[in-house]
Structure 1
C-alpha cells in the first residue's frame, strides 16, 4: 500500500523527533556499560551488587536501599568538615549532568532532580569511604562497614562491578572540596589505591604488553586450538614454574618449561575477572585479559590441574577448593604463539609417546598396584598364564 502525503509527514515528524532527542555530545563516549547477556547468564552474582548501588543502573534494587541512609550520613559528615554549602555541591554536579548521562550506555530514566541526587550522594559516599579507609580517625564508632568483615567484602565486590560505577571526574570534582591542608598532599589516586590495592590500578590502567603482535595475524581464531590441560602437558614432559613479580602477560615457554605469573584466587577473583572481561567485550580496549583467562581455562580442566598449578606456586588458592571453570571466547588471542609452541612440543612423536606411557603407568598403578591384594592377583594370573602355556607346549610335544 502506497503512503499518502499525510502518513509520510507523520512518519517524518516521528523520526525527526527521535533524531532531536539523540545526544549530540561526542566528547565523552559511553564508558559505563551493561554486562552482556552471555557472561551475565553464566554468573549473575558476579555482576550484580550485593550491598550498595553506585550510579543509576541499580538504584531501584530493593535489597540495596538499606545503604541509602549510610550515604546521607556520609554527606552530613562531609559537610561538617568543609566550608562549602550543600547548594554549592549541588551546583557542582549539575554543571556536568548532561556529560554524566552520556557516559552510560543505557538511557537513564530519571528526571533531573533524581539524577543529581544519585550522583551527588553516590559520589560523596565514595569520597567518604576512601577517606575513612585511609584515615581511621574519621570513622564513627558505630560505622557498620568498617566493623563488619562481610559487609567490607561485599563493598569491595560492589565497587569492582562494571555496571556499578560513576565517571571518575565526578568523584574528582567532589574531592576537590576536601580541605587540602588536611590531606597533606594525599591525592584521590592515593586514597583509591589504598582502598583497592592491586585491583584499582588494574581496573583503570590495565597493563598492555609492549611490542604487541596481534595473535589473530599469527593464528586465525577459527582454525586455532588453544592448548592441552596442565596435567596433560606435564605428562608430555612440560615443566612448570612461577614468575615472581610478573604481570599477567609474563607467560613464556622455552626449553620445555612453561613460566607463568602468580595468580591469587580468592572470593573477589571471579568478580574482578568477570567484569574486566565484560568491559573488554564492549569493545573499549584490546581483549588481553580475556586472552589470559582463556589461557588459564585451557590449562585447567580438572581439580588435578588446579592442584598441579598450586603445587608449582602458580596459583595461590585462598578458597580451599580445587575447582575452577571459566568459559569465554575471543577473536584476539594474545597467547596464540605460546599455545602453538606448547602444542607442537607436546604432540611431537617422542612427547606423545611419553604422555601415553605416563597414562598407562598411572592406570597400572591405580588398578593393579594400588594395594597388595591387587598385585598378588595380577601375579597369580601371570603365573597361571605361564603354567597354561607350558602345559599346552608339553601336550603338543607328547602328541608328536
Structure 2
C-alpha cells in the first residue's frame, strides 16, 4: 500500500516537472517572438473602431471609394479603384524614372514595420501586404501631387473633375481604419524630383497633405507646425493640425471636470453676447464678463452681460466624418494627459446646441457657416457626435470656460435678465406679431386704466 502511494508521489513529481519544462519552453518562445514579431516590436497606431462607436453611424467609419492599407483591402465594393492605383503607379514610375525593382525592395523592407502599426492581427501574407504598401503608398503620393499641381493630372482621370468622387476620397482618407503609416509616403517622396516644374522650394508630404485636406475641418485657416511632422498617419496629422498652441488659455487649468454649460439660447437670454473669433484654432473659445472687461461693479451691473468668443466653423457633409474619426482616435489612442481636444470641442458644441434655434443664433453671429442648409441637420450632427463616447472626468479641455459660463448664468441678475428676455419674447410673439394684436393689448390696457380711475372716483364720492 505504501509502495503504491510512493509511486503516485513520484509520478506526480515527474508530472509537475514536465509541466514546468513545458511552461518554460512556452515562455521562451513568447519572449523570442517579442524581439521578432512586428506586432510586438512596434506600437500600434492604426485601430479598428469599436462596435460601440460604430453603431452610432456605420457610414462615418467605412470607406466609400478606395481602400488604404490592409483593413478594408478585400471589400468588394472598393475594387474598382485598384485600376486607378495601377495607373497612378505607372505615372509615378515613368514621370520620375524609377525602377520597379527599387520600389519593391523598399516596400519589402518596410513590410514588418507596417504590419506592426495595426492593432490586432493582419491576415495578409508578406507578399500581399508588400503589394498593398507599394500600390497604396504611391497612390497617395500621386493623388497629393496631382491635387497640388494640376498640370500633372491625366486628362482621362475623373477624380478631380467629379465632385462626388473627390468628396468620397476626402471621406476615405480621414478614416482611422483606412490609413497607411505616413513614413511610407514620406520615404516615397525621396524619389520625387519636381525640378521640371520649376518648383523653387522643397515640398514635403506634410505640405501636400495640408493642401489636400484644406476643405476639412478648419484646415484652411491653420498653419503647419513642427508638431505635424510627428504624425504617424493622416488622422493624427489632422488632430495635431487642430490642436491648441502650447500655453493656450485652458491648458493651465488644474480642474478638468466635464461640465455641460447652457445652450446658446439660454446664454443669450442671460445676457451673453456671441462673437466670431478671429483665431485660427477651433479650440480658442473663451468667455469674458463685462465686469472683468470694464473693471467696475457699476458697469458690470449696468452692462449688457458678457462676451463669448467662438472661432468660425464650416459645417458640411464631411464634418461628421472628420469629427467622428478624430474622436475615435482620441478614444482608442494612447496619449498623454489632457489630450482629448476634439472630444472636448464636440462636448462643448453639444452643450451650446440643443435645437435648430441654437444653430440659428450661432449662424447669425457668424460662428457657424452652415453648408448643410437645414439648421436641424446641424443640431442633429452635434447632438449625436458625443453618443457612445466615454470621456474621463479629468480630461475636459473647456472645463474652465464652462465653469465661468455656469457661474455667470447662476448670478441673480442674469437669471432676472433671462426671465425678462423670455417674457419679452413671449409678448412679442403673442401680442406684437401683428398690428391687431398690439391694438387689442393697447385697448385692454386703456380699459383697465379707466376702470381703475372710475373705481377710485366712486370710492372718493362715498
Q: TM-score range by the shorter chain?
A: 0.7 to 0.9
2:412 maps to: 349
Q: 1:104 to 1:363 in 2, by over 3 A?
A: same
Query: Contact 2:69–2:180 (CA<8 Å) still a contact in 1?
Result: yes
Q: What CA deviation, in whole Å up to 9, does each residue of 1:79-108 have, x standing for no partner? A: 112333212111001111111111111311
**Equivalents in 1 of 2:39, 2:123: separation in Å?**
18
* Structure 2 residue corresponding to 1:220, chosen from 257, 263, 280: 257
Query: Contact 1:74–1:124 (CA<8 Å) still a contact in 2?
Result: yes
Q: What CA deviation, in whole Å up to 9, does each residue of 1:32-79 have, x standing for no partner? A: 122233332212211111110110111111111100011011111211
* Structure 2 residue corresponding to 1:284, chosen from 327, 331, 335: 335
1:261 maps to: 311
2:350 maps to: 297
Q: Which moved more, 1:170-179 or 1:116-125?
A: 170-179
**Equivalents in 1 of 2:133, 2:38: separation in Å?**
22
SS of 1:144's equivalent?
Answer: coil
Task: Give the superposed CA RMSD.
Answer: 3.3
Query: Contact 2:39–2:115 (CA<8 Å) still a contact in 1?
Result: no
Q: Cα distance, 1:378 vs. partner? A: 6.4
Q: 1:214 to 1:241 in 2, by over 3 A?
A: closer
Q: State the TM-score, normalized to the length of structure 1.
A: 0.86
Q: State the TM-score, normalized to the length of structure 2.
A: 0.76
1:330 maps to: 391
| Map 1:1-400 → 2, pairs under 5 A | 5=16, 21=33, 23=37, 28-182=42-196, 184=199, 185-188=201-204, 189-197=206-214, 198=219, 201=224, 203=238, 205-206=240-241, 207-211=243-247, 217-221=254-258, 225-254=259-288, 255=290, 256-281=306-331, 282-284=333-335, 286-322=339-375, 323-324=378-379, 325=382, 326-327=385-386, 328-331=389-392, 332-371=395-434
* Unmatched runs of 5 consecutive residues or more in structure 1: 394-399
Q: Cα distance, 1:194 vs. partner? A: 2.0
Q: 1:209 to 1:191 in 2, by over 3 A?
A: closer
**Equivalents in 2 of 1:39, 1:209: separation in Å?**
29
2:298 maps to: none
**Equivalents in 1 of 2:453, 2:240: separation in Å?**
76
1:396 maps to: none
Q: Which moved more, 1:369-378 or 1:336-345?
A: 369-378
**Equivalents in 2 of 1:366, 1:170: separation in Å?**
62
